Amino acid sequence: MNFFDLFRKKNPSGSVAKDRLQLLLVSDRSACSPEMMQAIRDDIIAVISKYMDVDHDEINIELTTTEVDGSRKAVPTLYANIPIKDVKRERDKQ
């Protein structure tokens, strides 16, 4: 255990369970299997990695819901948080 781990805010298990349940419900409603989510994640990472160095350990890609403007209808939304370490120069691209 690291000294700084004592000061980090930890998610209570109830919060983690709630987040997992929400993800499961959204994926069910959008007919997106966990395998498809993994394939989408891999494809997004592959494309972005051609142009940027990314922190693979901190990537967070989620399927959530967002209300459509002016209505109460919720639609599936893909949210991607991809920390960028560096942008590759033109000659580094493959």
Distance separating alpha carbons of residues 18 and 27, to the nearest angstrom: 14
| Tokens at 11, concatenated | 């998610």
Q: Of 26-35, 62-71, 80-89, where does mean pLDDT reach its minimum? A: 26-35
What pLDDT was estimated at residue 94?
Answer: 53
Tokens 């993994």 label which residue?
38
pLDDT tens sequence across 41-77: 889 999 999 999 999 888 888 877 777 777 777 777 8
Distance separating alpha carbons of residues 2 and 92, to the nearest angstrom: 37
Contact assessment for residue 33 and residue 27, using Cβ atoms and an 8 Å cutoff: yes
What pLDDT was estimated at residue 88?
Answer: 87
Decide: helix, strand or coil at residue 45: helix
What pLDDT was estimated at residue 86?
Answer: 92
